[in-house]
Structure 1
Amino acid sequence: MSFCKSSRQQAILDAASELIATIDLEQRLLYLNPSARQLLVLPHDLDLEKERLTVKDLHAPAVYRKLDTEIFAGLLEGKGRWEGELEFRDSNDQPIPMQMTIILHTDEEGRPLWITGIGRDLRRRRRLETQRRLAKRAFDHAIEGLIVTDGRARIQHVNPAFVEITGYTAEEVVGKTPRLLRSDHHDQAFYDAMWQSIADKDRWQGEVWNRRKNGSVYLQWLTITCVRDVQGRIENYVSIFHDLSEMQAKEEEIQHLVHHDPLTGLGNRHLLSERLQHGIRQAKGQEEKLALLIVDLGHIQLINDSLGHTNCDRLIRMQSAKLKAKVQEADTLVRIGADEFALLVEDYSSLHDISQLANELKEVLQEEIDLTEHRVTLSPSIGVAFFPQDAETPDQLLINAQAALLEAKKAGRDTFRFFDQEMSQEARERLKLEQALRSAIKGGGLSLSFQPKVLLESGHVYGAEALLRWCHPELGPLSPGVFIPLAEESGLIVDIGSWVLRQTCKSLVSWREAGLSLPRIAVNISVQQLEQEEFPDWLEELLHEYDLDISLLELEITETGLMKNELKALMSLARLKERGFRIALDDFGTGYSSLSYLRKLPLSTLKIDRSFILDMGDDPVSLSIVKTIIQLAQNLSLDLVAEGVEDSCQAQQLFDMGCPHAQGYYFYKPLIEDDFIQLLAASSS
């Protein structure tokens, strides 16, 4: 069957995949082929003779201006043909980039008749170009090395990371095979298995040792993938590899940090735990013995507070070097705390060897240390526990060595102690009590009692001392003489002191709201609180929070407590005095340097210790001391309080000697808050 010429032309136009459009000289569309209608999202049955559609309808304003003033004008001026890119807009106003050829049709005399445009959709090509650009950018900027070979494994492309990792330039490797990177770490069987996996799965990955251009060998993680054509033939191999050298170095550094102390370079508690587990496991299998020594340098906090962190760190490094010089290479020396070290000795010969070692460590740590501008001497303590006689597990061995260390400290330091079972029981009881005290601080197990202070002349209550009480959930009420030393040793005394001060402020506020006349309350302050640089600021802010006058508080310190850190405490007390706080010195006369303290301390009040009051009726020396203290207070214009007054004779004798204030069981025992409130109410009426 044959078609006429016009039918054949129409069939070609209809079958064409390109956009084909014809317009008249007024830019009205005369013809759009099916591909053009589909591309522009126009109805396939759109009648262009009835629907007036112009070129302007198919383009954004800026594009149309270019068409109208440049392209069409150029065609009409005789150029006859234009080729280039134009952007169309479909009926949904979506942009369509097109590669266009625009032709002007003329009659035999050259007069313009109509214009035809033929265009190809560029969107797919643009997407491919974008993908190629992204792929190239990824190829060029990947931190992994990339190699692309042909089907015969000849290198075609490498990326900059390949050059950086291997040291070879692209020019040096293109056309060659990756065989030039091989090291001598793998045999032929390794490579045969690798290529067999690629043949079976089109992919292989794993660790490979390769060689750089400079001859150094490095470990890499390598992935090789096949790229096949539509017939299944291998066109390319793509290799991606990551240099594991840096990762290995970082992992080794991390492992070092995990197991070592950054200040001294020694192992840390984590390393000790691992060595203890390994050592005990090996000792059990070979019936060997272990000794664990815990070494405390002694009062390192005082060095830190008085000479600063830099000198303290230097001191710790110097002492750790001394310890290291004394231990065998097979032994494990670690730093487990600020000033604590642990030494694990495996398979020692005799108990005497450990005793001798402990003594040598003690002596070398006692040597005077030169810190340039300062010379200091420490008082080390050492605790020792043995496997298997003292413990059979790593944790218990460490606990028992710590218990022995505590005994060495109690013995006055500058010594060492071995563990025994009685010591273990005492340590467990102490730990249990400490945990209960922690719970009491958080859970409301503490309370305050108030012992009134009176004017000896009238018996009138003018103040009180806040006294801490703790009722243990199992043991009942405990004496402060039991739990206060525990709090000081464990560091809990700071939290307890803060609780007492805040609770005192709360009580004063509640008494004020009840309309009672507020007495001055004395609160005991620990030297550890005074060691905190921010304590004066904190206390001032606390009183401001409760809107209380500074004169309502008197801070009591003990002479024996001050001796633990005199310099730091005196500085803190001076700051408190500058802000208007009253300072009272308790147990005056029981220390070793009382008169020097009177000169240094910013005091408001002296308290005569109850031991002198108790004995002054029968002991002339005690009576003389009391008289001297009273005279000192008068000469220094200090308030004076006698504590522990238990009978009328003592009260009268003190009054006759000129002591104006007192507290004790003769007047009032410590009262719970409700009873003290009743006393205040009665005194106010």
Structure 2
Amino acid sequence: MLRKSKASAFSGSRPGQPSGRLSVLLLVRQHTDLLWIRNLLAGQEEMRLYWCNSVPMMMDVMRRRQYDMVLWEEHLFESDQASFLRMIAEYAQAPVIALGSSRDESHVRKIIMKGASDYLCKNELTPGLLIRTIRRARYRELARSGSQLREQMDSLTGILDRNLFYDRLHQAMLRAQRGNKQVGLLFLNIDHFRTVNQALGYKSGDLLIKMVAARVRQVLRQCDGLARVGGDEFAVILEDVEEEFSLSAVADKLIEVFSKPFQVSHRDVELNISMGLASYPEEGRSVDVLLQHANQAMFDAKKEPGSTYRFFDEARNRDLKRRLELEADLRQAIRGNQLEVYYQPKIEVSSGRIIGMEALVRWPHPKFGMLAPQTFIPMAEQSSLIIPMGYWVLQQTCRDLAELQQRGFDQLQCSVNLSFRQFHDRKLSETVFRIIYNAEIDTTGFEFELTESAVMYDREYTVKCLKELAHMGVSFALDDFGTGYSSFSNLRSLPISSVKIDKSFIERLPASSQDQTLVAGMISLAHNLSMQVVAEGVETPEQLEFLRRHHCDFAQGYLIARPMTFTEFSDFLVHGRVVTSEARPSAG
């Protein structure tokens, strides 16, 4: 990844946004092309390169952030290039430079007519040519978008005004209609702002409005639209809403950030907000109807005390109430140490020897009993709770591992999952260090399991973070390998010592000849790269025997043992039978 410069040669920011490095999204299929482009841009410290090698991955990362420039290899998605370029323009709202092998002028003109900003022949590409083309396209985009936006921005806050907001909402609904997607609309009103304005004075009131706009913006993705639609009213457009929880997650974050007072004219000013939520197409198929329903939901929210929000749909409000209650229970469970860590043993396939375990969180709810992970983990991931919950699991696991090491089980390796959000928590390294240091464990027996999406999203951060954690002595495994975006070649430069083959590849063994070939190939490739292999979801003796024949290193699954409490796992270590492909062990 390209490093940050002390003084950027040009800004990578959008008009009205803070300056920073130019974010360049590279759409190429082959890892060798990524390395080639990275080498061409070496030394350009004002640029930061991101890579996608498939259309689904591209759609996913474009929902996460906005990019300043797109480099597109024209053979990726050849079937309908015009539609593909329109899709990139709508999602990325950035110039697209096509990369290809043709020198034919008519072909180049066709690509540009379809929507590309420029075309570069790969056989003639040099560092200077690529850098000049990127800069030229960026300057043109800044000049074009800057002049348009200045005329349509709210003069006080610098965000969208009412007219531009209506247009953006209409365009978002058209895109959602074509892609069979949802659009979320959030109306936000500052409660009793007139009283606050009179008390502070109108000059300070204007300053407060600007501060409110800035605080709302910090919660949103760069691709979301924010507008001031009234004196004390704001509206937010959220594209690609998959379910109502995505809307409520934003509303929850807004309530959280508005819980802190504003400092205006040396005074602390506390504000409550009321929000109404509606989504296209369920609550409105036209701009006017959707606006009306979001506005009605906002007025329903104003009937409640404090900062709150309501959906237009009453059934959603009931679901929201249940989810908020469960979320509050989970928050209390984390604070009150009411969660539990279960452990699923891992064995060495060749010998059946127990070599370690994976830590898994469980929640014995006081009212609903033991809740399945799929009930509360997605909810935690959609809120901010996944991070404190992850650290709680890490802390408890370290305590348990320390006890096992003191009892002589010092050769065990314990694996803990890091979610996407926790891995990208900027306080991860220092928090992990504090927990491990306080637990006084031998870190050579500790491993983090990471998903492919987490490690491949921002390579610069990944390299830095893994290096810091590796210095503490922990190791890393790639979880659910084969289901994500990356390949072995992408992982060679990362300090990953093992991969876990996803259970979806194991469950059809040995009946599926296709899965036999895939699993055998994964094991062989991993070994050639000096990585060990763990098979997940092993449930039959035949599966275990197949893994043994193909020299898989480790396995876990119900054939070996189900997840169990720490006490049960301790007993299992002492009394568990040696595992063979002919016999399923007991946990007793």
When the two structures are superposed, what TM-score results if normalisation uses the length of structure 2? 0.52
Please, which of 417, 423, 443 is the counterpart of residue 336 of structure 2? 443
1:54-453 equivalence runs, <5 A: 251-252=200-201, 256=205, 259-262=208-211, 264=213, 298-300=220-222, 320=226, 323-324=227-228, 327=229, 332-333=233-234, 355-356=286-287, 385-387=294-296, 391=300, 393-395=302-304, 401=310, 403=311, 419-453=312-346
Cα displacement (A) at 1:509? 2.2
* 1:488-522 deviation digits (Å, cap 9, x = unpaired): 11111110111111111111222233344451100
1:627 — aligned with what? Answer: 520
Q: 1:539 and 1:513 mapped to 2: Cα distance?
A: 21
Please, which of 476, 489, 507 is the counterpart of residue 369 of structure 2? 476
Q: 1:662 and 1:617 mapped to 2: Cα distance?
A: 15
1:42 — aligned with what? Answer: none
Q: 1:667 and 1:526 mapped to 2: Cα distance?
A: 25
1:577 — aligned with what? Answer: 470
Please, which of 560, 563, 581 is the counterpart of residue 670 of structure 1? 563
Q: For the structure 1 residues 352 and 570, does the alpha-carbon distance in structure 2 shift closer, same or farther, using more than 3 Å as the test? A: same
Q: 2:292 and 2:324 mapped to 1: Cα distance?
A: 17
Q: 1:546 and 1:343 mapped to 2: Cα distance?
A: 44
* 1:458-486 deviation digits (Å, cap 9, x = unpaired): 11101000111101111111111121111
When the two structures are superposed, what TM-score results if normalisation uses the length of structure 1? 0.45
* 1:528-570 deviation digits (Å, cap 9, x = unpaired): 2222223223212322222212211100012244466665445
1:465 — aligned with what? Answer: 358
Q: 1:458 and 1:352 mapped to 2: Cα distance?
A: 59
Say whether 1:652 aligns with 2:574. no
AA aligned opposite 1:355: S
AA aligned opposite 1:580: G
Cα displacement (A) at 1:684? 12
Cα displacement (A) at 1:383? 11
Say whether 1:661 aligns with 2:554. yes
Gaps of 5+ in 2: 1-196, 237-250, 259-272, 277-281, 579-588
Q: Secondary structure of the residue that 2:211 maps to in structure 1? A: coil
Q: 1:613 and 1:514 mapped to 2: Cα distance?
A: 34
* 1:405-449 deviation digits (Å, cap 9, x = unpaired): xxxxxxxxxxxxxx3122212211111111110011011210011
AA aligned opposite 1:332: E
Q: 2:349 and 2:199 mapped to 1: Cα distance?
A: 75
Please, which of 448, 459, 462 is the counterpart of residue 555 of structure 1? 448
1:586 — aligned with what? Answer: 479
Cα displacement (A) at 1:595? 4.0
* 1:27-48 deviation digits (Å, cap 9, x = unpaired): xxxxxxxxxxxxxxxxxxxxxx
Q: For the structure 1 residues 639 and 546, does the alpha-carbon distance in structure 2 shift closer, same or farther, using more than 3 Å as the test? A: same
1:642 — aligned with what? Answer: 535
* 1:276-319 deviation digits (Å, cap 9, x = unpaired): xxxxxxxxxxxxxxxxxxx998534xx9xxxxxxxxxxxx9xx6
Gaps of 5+ in 1: 1-247, 270-294, 304-315, 346-350, 360-381, 404-418
Q: For the structure 1 residues 353 and 501, does the alpha-carbon distance in structure 2 shift closer, same or farther, using more than 3 Å as the test? A: closer
Q: 1:588 and 1:354 mapped to 2: Cα distance?
A: 41
Q: Secondary structure of the residue that 1:523 maps to in structure 2? A: strand
Is contact 1:468-1:480 (8 Å) kept?
yes
1:519 — aligned with what? Answer: 412
Cα displacement (A) at 1:645? 0.5
AA aligned opposite 1:522: S
Question: How large is the Cα RMSD of the aligned pairs?
Answer: 4.0
Q: Which moved more, 1:484-493 or 1:334-343?
A: 334-343
2:183 — aligned with what? Answer: none
Q: 1:591 and 1:383 mapped to 2: Cα distance?
A: 41
1:56 — aligned with what? Answer: none
Q: For the structure 1 residues 546 and 667, does the alpha-carbon distance in structure 2 shift closer, same or farther, using more than 3 Å as the test? A: same
Q: Secondary structure of the residue that 2:496 maps to in structure 1? A: coil
Q: For the structure 1 residues 504 and 260, does the alpha-carbon distance in structure 2 shift closer, same or farther, using more than 3 Å as the test? A: same
Q: Secondary structure of the residue that 1:471 maps to in structure 2? A: strand
Is contact 1:530-1:573 (8 Å) kept?
no
Q: For the structure 1 residues 488 and 662, does the alpha-carbon distance in structure 2 shift closer, same or farther, using more than 3 Å as the test? A: same
Is contact 1:465-1:523 (8 Å) kept?
yes
Is contact 2:497-2:531 (8 Å) kept?
yes
1:592-631 equivalence runs, <5 A: 592-595=485-488, 597-599=490-492, 601-631=494-524
Is contact 1:385-1:400 (8 Å) kept?
no
1:485-500 equivalence runs, <5 A: 485-500=378-393
Q: Secondary structure of the residue that 2:351 maps to in structure 1? A: coil
**Structure showing greater relative contact order (alpha-carbon pairs closer than 8 Å, 6 or more residues apart):** 2
Q: Quick check: which one's strand share is greater?
A: 1
Structure of higher CA gyration radius:
1
Is contact 2:418-2:449 (8 Å) kept?
yes
1:454 — aligned with what? Answer: 347
* 1:317-375 deviation digits (Å, cap 9, x = unpaired): xx65xx34xx4x67833798779999999xxxxx999932699xxxxxxxxxxxxxxxx
Q: For the structure 1 residues 588 and 397, does the alpha-carbon distance in structure 2 shift closer, same or farther, using more than 3 Å as the test? A: same
Q: 2:524 and 2:320 mapped to 1: Cα distance?
A: 47
